[in-house]
Structure 1
Amino acid sequence: MDAAVAECGVQARRSDGKLPPHVTAYLTMGLWLFPDDDYAEVAVKVTGALDRFGCWDAGWSPPTAGGISQARKRLGRDVLAEVFERVARPVASAVTSGAWLRDWRVLAIDGFDVDVPDTTENAAEFGYSRTGGGPSAFPKARVVALTECGTHAFLAAEVGAYAVGEQTLAMPLYARLRRGELLTADRSFYSFAAWDRAQATGADLLWRIQAGIRLPVIEVLADGTYLTVLMDKTIRGGRRDRILAAAADRTLDTCDDAINDRGLPAAHLARVVAYDVPDRSGNGTSELITLATTIIDPAQAGPDELAEAYHLRWEHETANDQLKTHLRGPGRILRSKLPDLVHQEIWAWLLIQHAMTVLITRAADAAAIDPDRISFTRALRLARRSATGSAAISP
């Protein structure tokens, strides 16, 4: 916390102030532990924990709501984003159940939106959604995040206006991927530019492909999957034919036509897994799922394993539910009436959820069970009790 405050240049203006930046940051996170309480009540509840951290003087009186609000404005939008950047790391250990496909750590990318107070400033910064011909009741911020599937931990995120599409917000996140990770994504995230950027990190990909995208069959493999070429949609005619021929000969890496004018790949070899999901919509029909993956060799992962790994992507929805239902509460909007404070509040939200996933996963690993078997609600109750001053009182 101190390092983030120093990095963002928002050190305390007064040496004797009881709301220096690091205390304000902890109080802002405390708002997510106690969403039913106002600023002053949250401050009363968490000062015991802050005293144990050595950043609160027990002789101080709790700050007023107005004092906390002004301190949050001084803190700005960047400190808690920097804290998240420093602490958000993969949580699953080698023994964490449900977090791996063989040696790959399974991740997902997806987005959600969140209602913010209807103020002039928030409306200008975030905008409204439009359904049924009219604007939404509240402005909405959009968040796109990387999630570790087995633990539901958020690992990286981008926050923007509602009008900014998920594909746009996702692009900076691909640089966060690492070799040994397998990123799953729904069909709304696929574009050649996104695939190219994500694959360049050395991570492996397992993405659903939209029905309208042509996937030429280069070679049918023994397990029923097939090889295809993903390429920039601007490539047509003879150049496209030459790229396909090079892919069939396994010389795509040395094909001049597969390089764009900036010296970067304009085509990638991929493996396709296609399967039906019976009666998915409940009307008696089946749905075709078409996945593309960078895992070319069937010996490394079979089609059944890849299909199962893709459906781990739904663990991201569990992470979203932990944010929206358990931490925020259904139907609620954020507290912050200014855009800087909205950003600050969202990063505090993600930090608390990440901290909870760490606690849950450590407990699950110790008990040799899947983290899904530990109740987020019960764990949150324990965290709330330990964060209050009463937890520090000796028996």
Structure 2
Amino acid sequence: MPRAGWVKPESDQRLSDHLALGVLTRVFTPEVVDEVLVERGRVERRNRLLPARVVVYYVLALALFASCSYEEVMRKLVSGLEWASGRPHQWTIPTKAALFQARKRLGSEPLRALYEKVAMPLSDARAPGSCYRSWRLMSIHGSTMSAPASDANIEHFGLPPSSRAGHGGVFPQVRLLGLVECGWHAIVDAALGTYEHREQALAESVVRSLRPGMLLLADRAFFSYRLWDLCRSSGADLLWRMPSDSVVPVEKRYPDGSFASYVHSGTRSRADDTAGIAVRVVEFVGTASSADTDHGEGRIHRLLTTITDPEAAPANELVRVYSQLWEIEAAFDGLGTHERGRGVVLRSKTPDGVIQEVYGYLCLHYAIRSLMRSVTWPN
């Protein structure tokens, strides 16, 4: 009940809604959206109630207002764009069927292209956790998102084994692999797949975004000779945890406790693969307070790194750097919970709609991180 002196607003639109939409149009400007639409051949040949540019922003707004109906999201979008431009005009809210058809015409490709065109690392040396010495810290991480249990989604994305056996959830799972900067937790590249896709295979798609001067952190689930060699060939340095059952020879022991070793494909004999890939191994002991539940208190674990000079990166420092890997979970928690709400399932009942929607969430997540960066470090 309103207090004395309060006046009931004429509209249920909140200033926070307008500002949130303003963040999207600031990061994903109309000029960039139009450029993507031209590149992807989505420019209209006739005037429509829902032009392609509006539909792109509508998909982003679906992620922003995840708990609202399709029509309510469009009402918020139109009101927000009018507020931002200062040019109100009469506009009929399309039906749910019209919105569905507009999204179908647009497809997922423009949203993917928009995300890939804009997303890039945000951090600089001033941001806590963004760098180690001269390296920009990056991480890779995998997660899943639940899609509606339509026949098309189940056939395309697949169900977890527990669902197929009649236990647990019944939602198809979209597998998502992200390359994340450790400073602002911005997801700067991503790969999508079905539940059956292995994270190692998806990770090969984000190697394109690695650069010299980066130090890539990764959990033991990502280790394979092929992926290690691909990432190493990008010029970036690597710091990955090894699987617990891996055996690595000690070639030379250094004063900081680390040692020189090598990794090889395992498909050839030692005689045929004499050199392998030179690495340095850092051992550490798991603690009860470790964020990695697989560490195990008192167990010895190993990190592999391409930084072979112990003076350039001492072993104890690399162990502390590796602990930042778990901060990446906050980035995916932000994508999966803060934007969507805990336990929320995606809306789309077609595979292409699901993919379009996931890229909408990736764009939203990047826009929020970009805003946080600009507020903290405006120059």
Alignment TM-score, normalising by the size of structure 2: 0.86
The one-character-per-residue Cα deviations of 1:210-240 (angstroms, maximum 9, x if unpaired) are: 1222211111112111111011111224334
Query: What is the alpha-carbon distance in structure 1 between the residues aligned to residue 199 and residue 346 of structure 2?
Result: 21
Amino acid corresponding to residue 309 of structure 1 in structure 2: V
- CA contact 1:47–1:56 (8 Å) conserved in 2: no
Aligned to 1:123, which of 142, 149, 154?
A: 154
Aligned to 1:24, which of 55, 58, 68?
A: 55
The one-character-per-residue Cα deviations of 1:49-87 (angstroms, maximum 9, x if unpaired) are: 333676997222222222111100000010110000110
Aligned to 2:255, which of 222, 242, 265?
A: 222
Aligned to 2:311, which of 267, 289, 299?
A: 299
Aligned to 2:209, which of 165, 176, 191?
A: 176
Query: What is the alpha-carbon distance in structure 2 between the residues aligned to residue 155 and residue 52 of structure 1?
Result: 30
Alpha-carbon deviation of 1:93? 2.1
1:1-395 pair list within 5 angstroms:
1-15=33-47, 17-51=48-82, 58-131=89-162, 134=165, 136-240=169-273, 242-243=274-275, 267-279=276-288, 280=290, 285-366=297-378
- CA contact 1:18–1:56 (8 Å) conserved in 2: no
User: How many residues are aligned here?
Assistant: 342
Residue 164 of structure 1 aligns to a residue whose secondary structure is: coil
Residue 351 of structure 1 aligns to a residue whose secondary structure is: helix
Q: Structure 1 stretch 358-367 or stretch 1-10: which is displaced more?
A: 358-367
Query: What is the alpha-carbon distance in structure 1 between the residues aligned to residue 184 and residue 352 of structure 2?
Result: 29
Amino acid corresponding to residue 64 of structure 1 in structure 2: T
Q: Structure 1 stretch 46-55 or stretch 153-162: which is displaced more?
A: 46-55
The one-character-per-residue Cα deviations of 1:118-176 (angstroms, maximum 9, x if unpaired) are: 11111111010112871541111101110011111001011111011111111121122
Residue 45 of structure 1 aligns to a residue whose secondary structure is: helix
The one-character-per-residue Cα deviations of 1:232-265 (angstroms, maximum 9, x if unpaired) are: 111224334x43xxxxxxxxxxxxxxxxxxxxxx
Closer/same/farther in 2, CA of residues 13 and 118 from structure 1, 3 Å limit? farther
Unaligned runs of 5+ in 1: 244-266, 368-395
- CA contact 2:157–2:174 (8 Å) conserved in 1: yes
Amino acid corresponding to residue 9 of structure 1 in structure 2: G
Closer/same/farther in 2, CA of residues 59 and 21 from structure 1, 3 Å limit? same
Query: What is the alpha-carbon distance in structure 1 between the residues aligned to residue 270 and residue 216 of structure 2?
Result: 32
Residue 207 of structure 2 aligns to a residue whose secondary structure is: helix
Amino acid corresponding to residue 170 of structure 1 in structure 2: A
- CA contact 1:115–1:334 (8 Å) conserved in 2: yes
The one-character-per-residue Cα deviations of 1:348-394 (angstroms, maximum 9, x if unpaired) are: 00000001001112222359xxxxxxxxxxxxxxxxxxxxxxxxxxx
Q: Which has the higher contact order (CA 8 A, sep 6+)?
A: 1
- Structure 1 match to 2:28: none
Query: What is the alpha-carbon distance in structure 2 between the residues aligned to residue 11 and residue 178 of structure 1?
Result: 34
Alpha-carbon deviation of 1:207? 0.5
Amino acid corresponding to residue 278 of structure 1 in structure 2: T
Unaligned runs of 5+ in 2: 1-32
- CA contact 1:150–1:315 (8 Å) conserved in 2: no
Query: What is the alpha-carbon distance in structure 1 between the residues aligned to residue 114 and residue 86 of structure 2?
Result: 17
Query: Once superposed, which parts of structure 1, at least 4 consecutive aligned residues long, lie more than 4 Å away?
Result: 52-57, 280-284
The one-character-per-residue Cα deviations of 1:299-328 (angstroms, maximum 9, x if unpaired) are: 211112211111111121001111111111
- CA contact 1:28–1:345 (8 Å) conserved in 2: yes
Alpha-carbon deviation of 1:11? 1.4
Residue 143 of structure 1 aligns to a residue whose secondary structure is: strand
